[in-house]
Amino acid sequence: GSNSSFISGTTMHNFLESTFGCVFRFGIYSDLLGYAKPNEAFFNKIIKSCGVAADNILHVGDDAIGDLQGARSAGMRGALVGRSEDIQEAVYDAV
């Protein structure tokens, strides 16, 4: 799922599809969905689209609030990638 404020969901979807093919079963984009992370409705859409229990889903992102805490509040597992200094601090604060 993407919250990008400068790349539209359609553009992101087309890029991922042309670059990686059918690696992703679905994509969820805040501009197309109408709400963004960390809104629980955003994560509920992911859960519904996956068709599995929330605790069997790992949401990976680079934002401690939007990705990690948002996923956890919806019952999903969350992991941070990217900026190592920010991640260390965010994980410490989130745990």
Residue 42 lies in a domain: yes
Residue 70 lies in a domain: yes
**Range of 79's domain?**
9-94
Residue type for 29, please?
Y
List of residues 6+ apart from 33 with CB closer than 8 A: 9, 42, 45
Residue 57 lies in a domain: yes
Residue 76 lies in a domain: yes
SS (H, E, C) 27-61: CCEHHHHCCCCCCHHHHHHHHHHHCCCHHHCEEEE
Number of domains in the chain: 1
Summarize pLDDT for 16-64 with one digit per residue, the tens. Answer: 888 877 777 778 888 888 888 899 999 999 999 889 999 999 888 888 8
Residue 85's domain is classified under what CATH number?
Answer: 3.40.50.1000
pTM of the shown model: 0.68
